[in-house]
Amino acid sequence: MFRKEDIAQIEQRGSTVQTVQQQVERFKQGFPWMKIVAPATPEKGIQVLDEAAVEAAVKYYEGAQINGKCKFVPASGAASRMFKDLFSGLDALKEGKELADDAPAAKFVDQIRSFAFYTPELFGEEPCKCPEYRKDVLAKTLTDEGLGYGSKPKGVLKFHKYTDGEIRTAFAEHLVEAQNYMRNEDGSANLVVTISPEHQHLFEEAYAEVKAAYEAKYGVQYNITFTFQDKATDTIAVDVENKPFRTETDSLLFRPAGHGALIYNLNKLEEEVVSIKNIDNVANERLLPETATWKKVLLGKALELRDTLHGYLRELEIRTGDYITDLRVDVPAYGKLGDEDVYQRPEVQELCDEIEAFLENVLCVKMPQAETCKARVQALRAKLDRPVRVAGMVKNQGEPGGGPFIIAEKDGSTSLQVLESVQINMSDDHARNALASATHFNPVDIVCCLHNYKGESFDLLKYVDEDAGFISSKSYQGRELKALELPGLWNGAMSNWNTLFVEVPLATFNPVKVVLDLLRPAHQN
């Protein structure tokens, strides 16, 4: 399948022939559908908190012991999709066509003065509907004739303009957020921002412009790390016959494997608690109090769950005597360590009953029947001793995004998962009905606890469901191809984590997917 030159190309990327062969086989085999039990709803699967519960969660966060925390912001890639409609409008105008007044590109030009990046020097004082003016504004927005926003990353685009004249990028708003709800006891705030190497200088410039002012204004010290998606995680592309796709130079084509590749970046963090939020999900600072409150709620619920799980694990150790084999002692009147008799003890099985009830009632994890008492304890320990994620969920208002579901796992248990539509078998009546009856969707507002009950970092790569990837149709220079995405960061990459879903207000979700989203109230004064 691979020539000598191919092998050299693969190894130069930090990958292996075996890995690439497995990827090609994935194209041939496909991915299994997720087996949906039911949508996660407020009736089962999504916690809806009253005012007292919100206050309790915030208080829990503020009083919890944490071994380091940071804000993790996926910010790779250019904003080309954000400006897709504008590119189409510009192409049409260049071809001599006129834009309808209700076309997105026309609306953009008409409202140009409402955008934070507007200046009269670049765009003129008075907008008009004439084709030449529209073409000029679109070109100056998208190309190097002006701002060049069509090829820049979202993080460095000017999102918000304040009444005092301050203009902030999306990245700047994340800095402001971080000092509010992710501040360490010493007054510092840690951010890890995933970017493309070619954009690093743009982020560094954007950071340099605001660092001193923000540190003085908010009394914070920022610790910023820019990290890249490892090229070794790129996946091979294939043609329609599932053969390795070759470029015009006859070399193999590799493509970024989606945000699922960022599990490798997350796995390198030393901090125990990590808050994840996409680069474009920010709002005007006047909305920060509500955003910060609910972020603290998620943090508090995650730490509460962490402490409960760790408490159960420690209690299992105490009641079974496991993990003290170096003492070579017997448990009085119950037999030797590791014997079935030890696990049959009433206090052990009572604890197992309590743990199983907690897992099912709180995390929607229903355990299969174990063959022995020892097997039951081992299965419960394996379920408890995992990374933690608490994900905010908003009521479904038709926004794009994955949704929360209860699914059946390979081991016979059930769990809470975030699924994308491509993981759902639309030809299956039960799955289709579950999707139709879903009440919430995933805004990517996640808090993670990455240390085990002994204070050690989990190896996150061990908890990825490799069967939860995606295959999509793409093109290269007009030629059709298939692309392979790794299990998504908040989908399959976190499949084997302990998961809790909490309803958060829609007001905390303000993504900018297309440029006209910046005209929404959350992004205006």
334 vs 225, residue with greater confidence: 225
CA distance 395 to 457: 33
Question: Looking at residues 157-182, what average pLDDT do you find?
Answer: 97
pLDDT tens digit sequence for 459-515: 999 999 999 998 989 988 889 999 999 899 999 999 999 999 999 999 999 999 999
Identity at 247, one-letter amino acid code: T
Q: How far is C-alpha 463 from the geometric centre of its chain's CA atoms?
A: 15
CA distance 15 to 438: 39
pLDDT grade for 389, boundaries at 50, 70 and 90: very high
Exposed, middle or buried, 42 (CB in 10 Å: 0-12/13-18/19+)? Answer: middle
Other C-beta atoms closer than 10 Å to the C-beta of 349 total 15
CA distance 487 to 92: 37
pLDDT of 400: 54
Q: What is the Rg, in whole angstroms, of the alpha carbon atoms belonging to the chain? A: 26
pLDDT grade for 327, boundaries at 50, 70 and 90: very low
Identity at 10, one-letter amino acid code: I
pLDDT of 129: 84
pLDDT tens digit sequence for 421-471: 888 899 999 999 999 899 999 999 999 999 999 999 999 999 999 999 989
Q: To the nearest whole percent, how much of the chain has pLDDT over 70?
A: 96
pLDDT grade for 231, boundaries at 50, 70 and 90: confident
pLDDT of 331: 43
Token representation of residue 495: 């499949």
pLDDT of 325: 41
pLDDT of 126: 80
pTM of the model: 0.93
What CA–CA distances, in Å, run from 43 to 39, 358, 432, 439, 487? 10, 16, 19, 10, 28
pLDDT surpasses 60 at 329: no
pLDDT surpasses 70 at 328: no
pLDDT of 337: 52
Pairing of the two strands 46-47 and 498-503? parallel
pLDDT grade for 339, boundaries at 50, 70 and 90: confident
For the chain, which domains are there? 21-79+154-308+384-523 (3.90.550.10), 81-151 (no CATH)
pLDDT grade for 171, boundaries at 50, 70 and 90: very high
pLDDT of 338: 62
Core vs surface per residue 369-407: b (16+ CB within 10 A) or e? ebeebbebbbbbbebbbbbbbbbbbbeeeeeebbbbbbb
Average pLDDT taken over every residue of the chain:
93
446 neighbors 72 (Cβ within 8 angstroms): no
pLDDT surpasses 90 at 146: yes
Question: Looking at residues 177-182, what average pLDDT do you find?
Answer: 97
In the chain, the N- to C-terminal Cα span, in Å, equals 58
